[in-house]
Structure 1
């Protein structure tokens, strides 16, 4: 049982969580992050990172050069919502992430995106607003570059002030006391800035479990996935 609670907690009270809506690994971690946030009263600042851009293949357009571009366009909607409140972006990520990674829908389709905005009580016309507002590109680029400049390569990436941590990469998000124990492990890394990596090898059973968990996402995606560099996990989104 975790001995951490909101009354005796003395660790970080704020974290920047960089995500791409289309990433199944980041979605799993976001579920855990919300549980910890609600139990400890943390401030989670949702920030962006583009797997389309980091995995861009030579000769392809950058996501901001297209009229509509999967995860990038989803984040443009999120940028508009965040200008109103971080809570709206939180709801948008939770709703659109569940639509893709649990229900196997296509939130990257503009019509589906409009429907999901209605579900969180937002104006569906925000889809069109985000497309016409070129400054949304600047917000996403800046937050994406922050991760790249820190040596990062994917999501989820967490920032505690100027310290960046990739992960945790998990398939079964813990809840309750177990979620707090994992949080304690994660923030424990901050004490050791030269600790770079701890990794559990994936066995055949793990790969099967990953496939079954990510099946809705794999069936709903409309792009080709590639692995590049240090990508951790089953697959990562690439530019189409």
Structure 2
């Protein structure tokens, strides 16, 4: 059994979630940690909300990747879900492949890269896995205790919180030190929030 557990809820289209997930992937190489990935839908989170028109258009486009991630989780399990998220993130955030109504070009490339049927990209246009996607999204929010947050959303040893938000994602021993700090904060029942204004946008490291 791993020394620490992490449950990580992600929407593949969120750049901040992507940054935090790459930190967790780095932590996997530095610490004894078991990570479980969970699809999360920003489209579901923002249903019925009064949003800026441009942001509403973006949110409406995010259905596809979350739907396909959910389908892969249901059909193929954690290993392939992990691989798909990495491939999707590379396409969406590094290659800026945002073609199509629901990011379907990025989805097709990512599916092919991880050896999954590209036909799964059609799930982006259906509600076939929406029940499971909504349940996964709700599970993350319920674990955190409210719906006034989004992603990155993670649970460390059973304690769920939004974040951490970081740019760029730390690597090597620095990633491990940051994780140790997060574990320490999560271990204190009275800890709820630690925040400061962002001064930079997402800084994507090009090295894999």
TM-score greater than 0.5 by the shorter chain = yes
Which residue does the alignment assign to 2:16? 25
Once residues 30 and 58 of structure 1 are traced to their aligned partners in structure 2, the CA distance between those partners, rounded to angstroms, is 27
Which residue does the alignment assign to 1:38? 29
Aligned pairs, number: 191
**SS of equivalent to 2:136:** helix
**SS of equivalent to 1:165:** strand
Task: Show the 5 A alignment for 1:67-216.
Answer: 70-82=61-73, 83-106=75-98, 108-129=102-123, 131=125, 134=128, 136-149=129-142, 150-152=145-147, 153-160=149-156, 162-202=158-198, 206=199, 209-210=200-201, 213=203
Once residues 163 and 61 of structure 2 are traced to their aligned partners in structure 1, the CA distance between those partners, rounded to angstroms, is 23
Query: Which sits farther off after the overlay, 149-158 or 18-27?
Result: 149-158
**TM-score normalized by the length of structure 2:** 0.80
Shift, 1:109, TM fit? 2.7
Unaligned residue ranges in structure 2 (runs of 5+): 52-59
Shift, 1:132, TM fit? 5.1
CA contact (8 A) 1:80 1:130 kept: no
Pair 46,103 (structure 1): closer, same or farther in 2 beyond 3 Å: same
Shift, 1:87, TM fit? 1.4
Shift, 1:54, TM fit? 2.1
**TM-score normalized by the length of structure 1:** 0.70
**SS of equivalent to 1:40:** coil
**Larger-Rg structure:** 1
Once residues 106 and 197 of structure 1 are traced to their aligned partners in structure 2, the CA distance between those partners, rounded to angstroms, is 33
CA contact (8 A) 2:91 2:106 kept: no
Once residues 171 and 158 of structure 2 are traced to their aligned partners in structure 1, the CA distance between those partners, rounded to angstroms, is 27
Once residues 171 and 54 of structure 1 are traced to their aligned partners in structure 2, the CA distance between those partners, rounded to angstroms, is 24
Ranges of 4+ aligned residues in structure 1 off by more than 4 Å: 57-60, 129-133
Q: How big is each residue's C-alpha offset from its partner over 1:108-127, in whole Å with a ceiling of 9 and x where there is no partner?
A: 43233212211221110112
Unaligned residue ranges in structure 1 (runs of 5+): 1-9, 61-68, 215-240
Once residues 72 and 193 of structure 1 are traced to their aligned partners in structure 2, the CA distance between those partners, rounded to angstroms, is 35
Shift, 1:141, TM fit? 0.7
Shift, 1:52, TM fit? 2.0
Which residue does the alignment assign to 1:47? 38
